[in-house]
């Protein structure tokens, strides 16, 4: 799965999952543009790649604006001569319930996740089409965007929107031989670290210890190192036939998410009036109600989180 000669941009790659993606791409031979809002963090990420014999440079700027997107592409081209791979990973969280969410809470998350993905992909697509040699675009989604999650209106909207854009871009960029896919990671992150259910898994990951099998197999939950290989694979020539897909990965599990499909189709001569809706459609809909949110099995006793301090 060699990426020798390829150049990649990974947004939000100073630490966490983004850093793992960048490091794996570099191990496979790609030169990498690191991106973070903190200069010291970005420099450490570059150094970690160079220490293993890889090539990297950094752009210190917040993702969202067209200016940052142009800066990222220019860094790839000016430093390494081309652009082949883009991974849009940058993100922020502003979690709170709907009635407490401010305009700023909503706009900040949408700007980084959704607009940032759009602006970066647009600039990368322009460059890749100019090169005329195809390319790989990988946008990072979330289970929250697939199923919803309490307290994450802004994040759910952004992540669902990303998958919608990925499907559209796969159509638009097919003739240019540019594949576009979404990866749905289920892994120890700053967000999952705050969820009591994942306490034992996150604690083990932080200590560098193996995660309990329950999380890896039953939940499909793992560390950054479980997600990064999929990023490298989708960036490789071997994945040339895969585009427009949402692929989940975590722990020992990989999932291909289906595109939304109707589960029932009803017809009524002359259209659906109030009486027909109440008599026919309502009962049919109630029989086909779809679930919302993630449903997890009960934790084994030995993996229960510690009780809150009194």
CATH number at residue 250: 3.40.50.720
Instruction: Please report whether residue 267 resides in a domain.
Output: no
Q: Using alpha carbons, select from 173, 181, 75 the residue that is nearest to residue 130.
A: 173
Alpha-carbon span 58 to 33, nearest angstrom: 5
252 domain-assigned: yes
Phi/psi of residue 53, nearest 5 degrees:
90, 10
Band of pLDDT at residue 144, cut at 50, 70 and 90: very high
Asked if residue 283 is part of any domain, the answer here is: no
* Token pair for 223: 């560390």
User: The domain containing residue 115 runs over which residues?
Assistant: 7-187+223-257
Q: Please provide the average confidence, as pLDDT, over all residues in the chain.
A: 96
Residue 296: inside a domain: no
The verdict on residue 145 lying in a domain is yes
Catalytic positions, please?
Answer: 155
Res 275 pLDDT > 70? yes
Residue ranges in the chain assigned as alpha helix (H): 16-27, 39-50, 66-80, 103-109, 116-131, 143-147, 153-172, 199-206, 213, 224-234, 274-276, 282-287
CA 2 and chain centroid, separation: 23
> pLDDT value at position 192?
83
- Asked whether residue 310 is domain-assigned, the answer is no
Q: Are strands 246-250 and 253-257 parallel, antiparallel or unpaired?
A: antiparallel
The predicted structure's pLDDT at residue 310: 65
> How many distinct structural domains can be found in the chain?
1
Task: Give pLDDT, residue 194.
Answer: 82
178 within domain boundaries? yes
In a domain, 215, yes or no: no
pTM of the model: 0.95
């Amino acid at each position: 799965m060699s990426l020798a000669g390829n150049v990649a941009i990974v947004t939000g790659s100073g630490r966490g999952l983004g850093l793992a993606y960048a490091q794996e791409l570099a191990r496979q031979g790609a030169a990498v543009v690191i991106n973070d809002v903190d200069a010291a963090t970005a420099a450490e990420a570059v150094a970690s790649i160079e220490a293993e014999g890889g090539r990297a440079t950094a752009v210190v700027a917040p993702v969202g604006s067209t200016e940052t997107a142009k800066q990222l592409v220019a860094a790839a081209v000016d430093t390494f001569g081309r652009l082949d791979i883009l991974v849009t990973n940058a993100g922020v969280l502003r979690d709170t319930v709907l009635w407490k969410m401010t305009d700023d809470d909503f706009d900040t998350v949408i700007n980084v996740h959704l607009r940032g993905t759009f602006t970066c992909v647009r600039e990368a697509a322009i460059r890749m089409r100019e090169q005329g040699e195809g390319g790989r675009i990988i946008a990072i989604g979330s289970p929250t965007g697939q199923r919803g999650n309490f307290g994450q209106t802004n994040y759910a909207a952004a992540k669902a929107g990303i998958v919608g854009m990925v499907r559209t871009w796969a159509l638009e960029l097919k003739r240019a031989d540019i594949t576009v896919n979404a990866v749905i990671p289920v892994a120890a992150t700053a967000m999952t670290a705050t969820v009591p259910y994942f306490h034992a898994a996150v604690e083990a990951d932080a200590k560098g210890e193996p995660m309990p099998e329950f999380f890896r197999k039953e939940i499909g939950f793992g560390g950054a190192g479980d997600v990064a290989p999929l990023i490298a694979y989708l960036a490789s020539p071997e994945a040339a036939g895969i585009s427009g897909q949402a692929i989940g990965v975590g722990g020992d599990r990989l999932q291909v998410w289906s595109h939304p499909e109707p589960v029932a189709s009803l017809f009524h001569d002359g259209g659906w009036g109030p009486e027909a809706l109440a008599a026919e459609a309502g009962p049919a809909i109630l029989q086909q109600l779809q679930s919302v949110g993630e449903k997890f099995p009960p934790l084994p006793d030995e993996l229960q989180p510690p009780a809150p301090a009194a």
